């Protein structure tokens, strides 16, 4: 079983809709969690860190559920510019960051 | 600041050739790492370094060597290229010691081994 798993999608969502992704992790000792965004043929860029209390940044909300070992990303009022691949990542132990395979999102006009 | 830079952007190698992928950062980050990204496999950690003179293996280290003689540079060497090493390679860096800090990625090197 992979340490971090995501539904690869694709998710095709109409503009203005709300979309949510989940990402599960297998190591209960993992300590830090992140969502990265990757545009086609570009490098990943940090979208947001995920805190135990949950956090919100504009239209984006990230949640952590330690009991069920998953993190989630909610995008409200989706824009065409949100089309990208979203990677979740988790830190286990020292320094190493493990990524999921990514979820591809396409916002349809 | 240039951030994280990688060269070359594209490279084609023949099986058995060796080469070095260059990575540099100007943010005085202590932590640097190399990933490869393949379709359906996500980003997989090859090697990482928590500071000059210190390196360690990641998930897929075979066929690759690294060294970290300065804080700024973290080159990745392919010893004898194989078609299985065809991939996109990303270098990343972050502040000292903890991957909980944001990792900044370079633009990537697209490598094809024929």
Nearest-Cα residue of chain B relative to residue A87:
B42
- On the CB side of B61, CA atoms within 13 Å amount to 12
A57 has pLDDT over 80:
yes
- The per-residue pLDDT of chain A, averaged, comes to 91
Cβ-nearest to A97 among B41, B99, B107? B99
Per-residue pLDDT, B35: 97
pLDDT (tens digit per residue) in B57-81:
999 999 999 999 999 999 999 999 9
Residue A106 to chain B, least CA–CA distance (Å): 17
In this prediction, residue A93 has a pLDDT band, given cuts at 50, 70 and 90, of: low
Mutation for A interface: B42, B45, B74, B92, most A CBs within 10 A: B42
Q: Are strands A84-91 and A97-99 parallel, antiparallel or unpaired?
A: antiparallel
Taking the alpha carbons of B8, B12, B13, B15 in that order, is the dihedral positive or negative? positive
Q: What is the mean pLDDT of residues B35-47?
A: 92
Residue A1: strand pairing partners: none
């Amino acid at each position: 079983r992979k340490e971090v798993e995501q539904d690869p999608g694709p998710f095709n969502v109409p503009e203005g809709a709300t979309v949510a992704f989940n990402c599960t992790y297998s190591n209960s000792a993992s300590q830090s969690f992140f969502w990265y965004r990757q545009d086609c043929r570009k490098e990943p860029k940090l979208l947001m860190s995920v805190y135990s209390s949950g956090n919100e940044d504009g239209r984006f909300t990230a949640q952590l559920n330690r009991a069920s070992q998953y993190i989630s990303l909610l995008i409200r009022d989706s824009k065409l510019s949100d089309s990208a691949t979203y990677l979740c990542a988790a830190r286990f132990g020292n320094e190493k960051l493990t990524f999921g395979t990514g979820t591809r999102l396409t916002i349809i006009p | 600041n240039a951030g994280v830079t990688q060269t070359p952007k594209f490279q084609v190698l023949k099986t058995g050739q060796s080469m070095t992928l260059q990575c540099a950062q100007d943010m005085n980050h202590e932590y640097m790492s190399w990933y490869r990204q393949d379709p359906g496999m996500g980003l997989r950690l090859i090697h990482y370094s928590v500071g000059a003179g210190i390196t360690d293996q990641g998930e897929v280290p075979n066929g690759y060597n690294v060294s970290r003689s300065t804080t700024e540079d973290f080159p990745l060497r392919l010893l004898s290229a194989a078609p299985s090493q065809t991939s996109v390679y990303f270098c990343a860096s972050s502040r000292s010691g903890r991957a909980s800090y944001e990792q900044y990625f370079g633009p990537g090197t697209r490598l094809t081994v024929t």
